[in-house]
Amino acid sequence: MTENWWSEITAPQRSALIAAALGWVLDNMDVLMFAIVLGEIIKHFGISGATAGFLNSLTLMSSAIGGIVFGMLADRYGRTWSMMASILVYSIFTALCGFSQTIAQLGFFRLMLGLGIGGEWSTGAALISETWPDKHRGKAFGIMQSGFAVGYALAALVTALVLPRWGWRAVFFVGVLPALFTFWIRRNVKEPEAWLKRKKDTVSLGRIFQPDIRRSVLVSCLLSVCAMFASWGLFLWIPPRLSLPVSSGGAGLSASQFPLFLFVMHTGSFLGYLTFGALADRFSRKKIYLMYVGLATLLVPVYAASRNPVALLLIGPVIGFFGAGHFSGFGVLTGELFPTGIRATAQGFSYNIGRGISAIAPFTVGKMVDMYGFTSAFYLTAGFYFLTFLSLFLIPERDKTGVRHH
CATH number, residue 34 = 1.20.1250.20
Single-letter amino acid, residue 180: L
User: Of 106, 62, 93, whose CA–CA distance to 176 is shortest?
Assistant: 93
**367-396: pLDDT as tens digits:** 888 888 888 889 999 999 999 999 998 887
Range name among 2-16, 21-35, 58-72 with the lowest pLDDT average: 2-16
Can you tell me the distance from the alpha carbon of 101 to that of 85, in angstroms, rounded to the nearest whole number?
A: 27
**Is there a domain that residue 367 lies in?**
yes
Domains held by the chain: number: 1
Q: What is the pLDDT of residue 1?
A: 44
Beta bridge pairs of residue 405: 397
**Is there a domain that residue 2 lies in?**
no
Q: Is the pLDDT of residue 174 over 50?
A: yes
- % of the chain residues with pLDDT over 70: 88
Q: Is the pLDDT of residue 49 over 80?
A: no
The range of the structural domain enclosing residue 284 comes to 11-190+204-405
φ, ψ of residue 402 to 5 degrees: the values are: 95, 5
CB atoms within 10 A of CB 387: 18
**221-273: pLDDT as tens digits:** 899 899 989 988 888 788 878 877 776 666 667 766 777 887 788 788 888 88
Q: What one-character-per-residue DSSP string does 273-329 give?
A: HHHHHHHHHHS-HHHHHHHHHHHHHHHHHHHHH---HHHHHHHHHHHHHHHTGGGHH
Can you tell me the distance from the alpha carbon of 73 to that of 307, in angstroms, rounded to the nearest whole number?
A: 47
Instruction: Place 402 in a pLDDT band, splitting at 50, 70 and 90.
Output: very low
DSSP letter assigned to residue 85: H
**16-39: pLDDT as tens digits:** 888 888 878 877 787 778 877 887
**Is there a domain that residue 3 lies in?**
no
Kindly report the length of the chain.
406
Torsion sign across C-alpha atoms 80, 85, 88, 89: negative
H/E segment holding residue 163: helix 147-166
- In this prediction, residues 136-157 reach a mean pLDDT of 79
**Is there a domain that residue 5 lies in?**
no
**Is there a domain that residue 25 lies in?**
yes
User: Of 373, 389, 113, whose CA–CA distance to 237 is shortest?
Assistant: 373
Instruction: Place 60 in a pLDDT band, splitting at 50, 70 and 90.
Output: confident
Q: What is the pLDDT of residue 405?
A: 47
CB 193 within 8 A of CB 322: no
pTM here is 0.72
CB 164 within 8 A of CB 255: yes
- In this prediction, residues 83-89 reach a mean pLDDT of 82
Query: What does each C-alpha distance from 377 to 110, 120, 160, 233, 265 come to in angstroms?
Result: 24, 29, 27, 9, 19
**Is there a domain that residue 124 lies in?**
yes
Query: Is residue 164 classed as helix, strand or coil in its secondary structure?
Result: helix
Q: What is the pLDDT of residue 195?
A: 67
Can you tell me the distance from the alpha carbon of 11 to that of 238, in angstroms, rounded to the nearest whole number?
A: 39
**Is there a domain that residue 6 lies in?**
no
User: Of 266, 249, 251, whose CA–CA distance to 376 is shortest?
Assistant: 249
User: Of 163, 197, 153, whose CA–CA distance to 324 is shortest?
Assistant: 153
**Is there a domain that residue 335 lies in?**
yes
Can you tell me the distance from the alpha carbon of 282 to that of 274, in angstroms, rounded to the nearest whole number?
A: 13
Query: What does each C-alpha distance from 74 to 33, 186, 203, 344 come to in angstroms?
Result: 27, 14, 10, 6
Q: What is the pLDDT of residue 290?
A: 93
